[in-house]
C-alpha cells in the first residue's frame, strides 16, 4: 500500500541521513547520498533530494554513478515554465549549466545545455543565452533534429532580442529548414525572420544606404509575403524606390500594395503617390486616371483640384478624348472658383480646335462667351480676354460672309440685304470691342472701318444697268459715288480712331492695317504719315 511505501522511504531516508552524518565527506558514502536522494525524491522532498544528489554527483570524482546522480539533480526540478518563481528558475538554470559543464561528454549534456540556454533567455539574460546556444550548436550531431531546430530557434530569438539581426536571420532561416508546414511555431518564425530582414533594411536606411535598405525590404515582400511585416516592408520599398527615382519599380510596388492592402492604401494616400510617380515616369495618362479615380473619394477643393489636374495630364499624354470628357465634367461640377472654370472652357475649345471640329469649336466658343458674362464681379482681365478672343473668332464667319456679298441689280434689293448684314456684323464687332481688351479693341475697330470701306467700294463697283447712254452712265456713276461717300466717311472715322491709339503707345498689326487702309483711301494725307509712323515704331 502507498502508506507503507511512504513509511519505508521515510525510514530509509532517515537511516541514510544518520549514516552520512558520521563522515559526510567519505567516498564510501557516495552511493548512500545517491540512495538518500532517491528516497527524498520519492517522498516529494525536492530540496533534500537535490542536496543528496548534488553530494553524490559533484563531491566524489571516483563514484561510478556520479553522472547519474548529477543528472538526477537536473531531473528533479519541475518541468515547464516557472513564471512567477524567478529564484527557482535561476536555480534550475544554474544546475543545468553545472551538469553540462561538468560532464560535457555525456550524451545528454547538449540537451541539458539547451534547456539552460532557454532558461537564460526566459529570464532575459541574453548574453548568457547567446553564449550557451552557440555552445550547443558547436556539436549539433549530439542533438536530435527536433532539438537542433529548437536550438536554432533559440539562437534566433536571443539574437533578435539583442538586435543582432544578421544572426537572427541566419538562425531563423536554418530553423525553418527543420520545421514542417504544420508546425504551429512556423508563423512566429516567419514573422521574426521578416522582422530581422526589415530591421537590417532600417539600419542601412539610417546609414544612408537607400538601395541596400530597399533590397532588404524587397526580400521581405518576395520571400515572406504573408507576414504582418510585409505590409510595412512593401510600402517602404516603394518609398525607397521613389527616393532613388526608380519610377517603374515604385509604380509597380505601389499598385501591388494597393491591391494587397486596400484599407492601408487609403491611410497612406497611395493613389496620390501614384499620381506623382506616374508623372515622373512621364506616364501622364495613368496619372490622370489615378486622379479621376481619386477625385470620386474627395470633397471640396481637393476634389476640384484633382479633376483640374487630370485634364492637364490627359492633354500632356495626348489623350484628347479623355481630356475633353474630364474638362466637360469639371465645367459641370465646379463652376466655382470662376477663373479656373472659364479657363476650362478655353481648354475645351482648344481640344476641339486640335481635333479639327469647327462646329464644336464654335459651339464651345459661344458657351464660353455666355459663361463669362455670368461671372459678375468675379470677371477678370484674363476671363475678358478669353471671351473677347472667342467673340472675335465667332465674328469671323460673319465678316467672311459680308465680304463675299456682292451688290447686284436690282441695287436697292441687294443693298438692303447687305445693309442688314452690316448691322449684324457691327453688333458682333461691338461685342468684341466691349470687352476692352486692347488686342481685340484694335482688331474690332479696324474690322468696323473695313466693313464700311468694303460697302463703299461695293456700291461703286456694283453692276451698271444695261442700255444706259454715256451721259446716263456718268450720271449713274455720280449717283453711286454719292451713295458710297457716307460709308467711306464712316470707314475713315473708325480707321482714324484706331490709328489715334498710337498716342497712348498702342501699335499692333491692326493699327498698322488701319494706317494702310487710310493710305489707300486718302493717299495724299496718310501715305507719308503711315510710312513715318511705321518707321518710328520699328525704330522704337
pLDDT tens for each residue of 184-199: 999 999 999 999 999 9
Q: Tell me whether the omega of the peptide bond preceding residue 41 falls within 30 degrees of 0, making it cis.
A: no
Q: Do 272 and 302 meet the contact criterion of CB atoms below 8 Å apart? A: no
pTM of this structure = 0.75
Q: How far apart are CA 511 and CA 371, in angstroms?
A: 30
- CA 466 remoteness from chain centre: 82
User: Could you give the dihedral angle defined by the CA atoms of residues 286, 287, 289 and 295, in that order, rounded to the nearest 10 degrees?
Assistant: 170
- Per DSSP (E only), the strands in 138-213 are none
Q: What would the grid cell of residue 504 be?
A: 497712348
Do 366 and 336 contact (CB within 8 A), yes or no?
no
Among 264-268, 456-460, 480-484, 525-529, top mean pLDDT goes to 264-268
pLDDT for position 26: 72
pLDDT of residue 434: 96
Residue 184 CA to its chain's centroid (Å) = 37
Model confidence at 536, pLDDT cuts 50, 70, 90, reads very low
Quickly count helices (H) and strands (E) in the chain. 26, 0
Residues 130 and 159 sit within 8 Å (Cβ to Cβ): yes
**What secondary structure does DSSP assign to 263-286, as a single string?**
HHHHHTTHHHHHHHHHHHTT-HHH
State the residue for C-alpha cell 488701319.
Answer: 514
Is the pLDDT assigned to residue 111 strictly greater than 60? yes
CB count, 10 Å around CB of 391?
25
What DSSP designation does 78 have? P
Q: Dump pLDDT digits (tens) for 351-364.
A: 999 999 999 999 99
What mean pLDDT is reported for the chain?
A: 89
Three-state DSSP state, 279: helix
Distance CA 480, CA 485 (A): 8
Question: Alpha-carbon distance 508 to 493, whole Å?
Answer: 18
Whether pLDDT at 407 is above 90: no
Confidence of residue 534 (pLDDT cuts 50, 70, 90): low
- Round to whole Å and give the CA distance between 18 and 8: 15
Which among 139, 90, 138, 84 has a CA at the least distance from the CA of 116? 90
Write 42-46 long-range contacts (CB < 8 A, 24+): 42/5, 42/9, 43/6, 43/9, 43/10, 43/13, 45/13, 46/76, 46/77
Cα separation, 177 vs 155, in Å, equals 15
273: number of Cβ within 10 Å? 21
For residues 532 and 10, the model is more confident at 10
Mean pLDDT of 305-321: 95
* pLDDT of 480 over the 80 cut: no
Rg of the chain (C-alpha set):
50
Nearest to 497 by CA among 433, 454, 540, 435: 433
Higher pLDDT, 76 or 328: 328
How confident is the model over 141-177, as pLDDT tens digits? 788 899 999 999 999 999 999 999 999 999 999 999 9
Amino acid at each position: 500500500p502507498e502508506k507503507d511505501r511512504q513509511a519505508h522511504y521515510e525510514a530509509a531516508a532517515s537511516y541514510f541521513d544518520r549514516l552520512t552524518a558520521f563522515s559526510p565527506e567519505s567516498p564510501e558514502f557516495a552511493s548512500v547520498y545517491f540512495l538518500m536522494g532517491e528516497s527524498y525524491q520519492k517522498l516529494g522532498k525536492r530540496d533534500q533530494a537535490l542536496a543528496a544528489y548534488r553530494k553524490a554527483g559533484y563531491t566524489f570524482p571516483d563514484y561510478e554513478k556520479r553522472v547519474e546522480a548529477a543528472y538526477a539533480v537536473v531531473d528533479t526540478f519541475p518541468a515547464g515554465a516557472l513564471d512567477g518563481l524567478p529564484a527557482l528558475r535561476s536555480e534550475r538554470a544554474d544546475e543545468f549549466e553545472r551538469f553540462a559543464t561538468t560532464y560535457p561528454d555525456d550524451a545528454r549534456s547538449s540537451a541539458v545545455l539547451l534547456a539552460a540556454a532557454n532558461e537564460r533567455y526566459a529570464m532575459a539574460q541574453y548574453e548568457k543565452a547567446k553564449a550557451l546556444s552557440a555552445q550547443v550548436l558547436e556539436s549539433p550531431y549530439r542533438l536530435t533534429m527536433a532539438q537542433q531546430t529548437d536550438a536554432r530557434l533559440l539562437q534566433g530569438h536571443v539574437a533578435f532580442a539583442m538586435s543582432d539581426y544578421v544572426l537572427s536571420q541566419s538562425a531563423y532561416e536554418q530553423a525553418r529548414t527543420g520545421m514542417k508546414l504544420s508546425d504551429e511555431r512556423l508563423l512566429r518564425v516567419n514573422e521574426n525572420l521578416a522582422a530581422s530582414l526589415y530591421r537590417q533594411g532600417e539600419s542601412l536606411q539610417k546609414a544612408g544606404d537607400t538601395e541596400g535598405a530597399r533590397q532588404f525590404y524587397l526580400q521581405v515582400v518576395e520571400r515572406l509575403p504573408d507576414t504582418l511585416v510585409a505590409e510595412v516592408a512593401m510600402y517602404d520599398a516603394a518609398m525607397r524606390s521613389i527616393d532613388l527615382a526608380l519610377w517603374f519599380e515604385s509604380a509597380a510596388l505601389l499598385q501591388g500594395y494597393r491591391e494587397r492592402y486596400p484599407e492601408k492604401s487609403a491611410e497612406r494616400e497611395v493613389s496620390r503617390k501614384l499620381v506623382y510617380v506616374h508623372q515622373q515616369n512621364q506616364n501622364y495618362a495613368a496619372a490622370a486616371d489615378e486622379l479621376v479615380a481619386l477625385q470620386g473619394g474627395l470633397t471640396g477643393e481637393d476634389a476640384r483640384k484633382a479633376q483640374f489636374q487630370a485634364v492637364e495630364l490627359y492633354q500632356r499624354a495626348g489623350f484628347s478624348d479623355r481630356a475633353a470628357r474630364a474638362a466637360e465634367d469639371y465645367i459641370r461640377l465646379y463652376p466655382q472658383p470662376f477663373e479656373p472654370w472659364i479657363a476650362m472652357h478655353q481648354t475645351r475649345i482648344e481640344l476641339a480646335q486640335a481635333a479639327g471640329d469647327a462646329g464644336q469649336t464654335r459651339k464651345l466658343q459661344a458657351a464660353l462667351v455666355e459663361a463669362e458674362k455670368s461671372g459678375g464681379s468675379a470677371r477678370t482681365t484674363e476671363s475678358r480676354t478669353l471671351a473677347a478672343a472667342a467673340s472675335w473668332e465667332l465674328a469671323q464667319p460673319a465678316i467672311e460672309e459680308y465680304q463675299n456679298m456682292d451688290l447686284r441689280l436690282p441695287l436697292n434689293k441687294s443693298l438692303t440685304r447687305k445693309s442688314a448684314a452690316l448691322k449684324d456684323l457691327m453688333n458682333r464687332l461691338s461685342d468684341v470691342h466691349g470687352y476692352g481688351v486692347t488686342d481685340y479693341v484694335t482688331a474690332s475697330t479696324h474690322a468696323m472701318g473695313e466693313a464700311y470701306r468694303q460697302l463703299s467700294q461695293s456700291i461703286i463697283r456694283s453692276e451698271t444697268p444695261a442700255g444706259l447712254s454715256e451721259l446716263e452712265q456718268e450720271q449713274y456713276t455720280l449717283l453711286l459715288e454719292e451713295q458710297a461717300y457716307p460709308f467711306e466717311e464712316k470707314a475713315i472715322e473708325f480707321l482714324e480712331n484706331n490709328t489715334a491709339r498710337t498716342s497712348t503707345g498702342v501699335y499692333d498689326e491692326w493699327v498698322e492695317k488701319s494706317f494702310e487702309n487710310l493710305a489707300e483711301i486718302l493717299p495724299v494725307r496718310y501715305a507719308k504719315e503711315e510710312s513715318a509712323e511705321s518707321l518710328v515704331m520699328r525704330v522704337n
